[in-house]
Amino acid sequence: MTTPAHFLTLTDLPPGKLRSLLKRAVELKTMQQQGEHYEPLKGKVMGMVFEKSSTRTRVSFETGMAQFGGHAIFLSPRDTQLGRGEPIEDSARVLSRMVDVIMIRTFEHEKIERFAACSRVPVINALTDRYHPCQLLADMQTYLEHRGDIRGRTVTWIGDGNNMCHSYIKAARLLDFKLHIACPEGYEPESAILESGTGEHVTLIRDPLEAATGSDLVVTDVWASMGQEEEQARRVKAFANYQVTEAVMAAAKPDALFMHCLPAHRGEEVAASVIDGPQSVVWDEAENRLHSQKALLELLLAN
């Protein structure tokens, strides 16, 4: 049995493949909008394991599989044996003998690595505590559509050094853009991940206004991620100066875009006037989860 190609972090795709995937996502979007039927995954089945909540990820993967002529099965730990303690390795062995591809949203990143090690079919990371690579596919497609190639541009991340921030660090290296990270003390990205990008691509700049200055894209995310709900009050205090406001957007370039993976908390990490304003592309970004993941599924499965 050959090892299947997994997508656990963005760097599982070499830069050239990532760039062609983004272009393909744009093509697949046009085909869908023109009503063209394209069913490369007829008869294929995706297993979708969700140990955390989701709106966009679930709907985009299920819809993508349906549009491609395949099928998707939603699996929640509430009603599968995974939730009753069946080992992750055993679940991987069993599921991967039945379905053609598996996506997982879970907590510890190590869990998806253990799952993938025992899977006969490609495994896709649909968010772990450490990475959210599928969201980066959508974000990068959205930038490409609105502004062209992101190579050489400056992106500012404002907020928590979380799973999304980690994936932006990976993207900066792969797609060759500069990433400024503005986060409060104690909420930096994991040091090993940060160090992998510092120097040429990634710079930590504490002050959000300074970090945003001259940026082409400003990105943020919630202050407390899934699983950190009990830290909410402490985080609201720590992140008080890390809201993407109109002043932050004014420091960026006049044609800078604003992105947020959603769900968003207006009045916390982003002002309502920014997320609902003219520089925000969050709805295109959310839609592109569908198209970019179809391009990913095609790459992993259609051949």
Q: Tell me which amino acid residue 180 is.
A: H
Residue 226 as a binder of ligand NVA (CB under 6 A): the answer is yes
Smaller CB separation from ligand NVA, 83 or 263: 263
What separation in angstroms does the CA of 106 have from each of 2, 83, 129, 130?
26, 12, 7, 10
- Interface positions, 100-129, toward ligand NVA (CB under 6 A): 127
Rounded Cα distance between 62 and 198, Å, is 37
CB of 169 to ligand CP, least distance (A): 18
Smaller CB separation from ligand NVA, 209 or 262: 262
Residue 245 as a binder of ligand NVA (CB under 6 A): the answer is no
Residue 221 as a binder of ligand NVA (CB under 6 A): the answer is yes
Determine contact, residues 181/171, Cβ cutoff 8 Å: no
Closest residue by beta carbon to ligand NVA: 225
Residue 183 as a binder of ligand NVA (CB under 6 A): the answer is no
Residue 196 as a binder of ligand CP (CB under 6 A): the answer is no
* Nearest in space to 105 (alpha carbons), one of 79, 135, 84, 81: 135
The window from 12-20, 111-119, 158-166, 275-283 that contacts ligand NVA (CB under 6 A) reads 158-166
Determine contact, residues 120/96, Cβ cutoff 8 Å: yes
Q: Which residues are catalytic?
A: 105, 132, 135, 221, 261, 289
CA torsion through residues 42, 128, 228, 157, sign: negative
Q: Tell me which amino acid residue 253 is.
A: K
Residues that bind ligand NVA (CB under 6 A): 127, 132, 162-164, 221-222, 225-226, 261
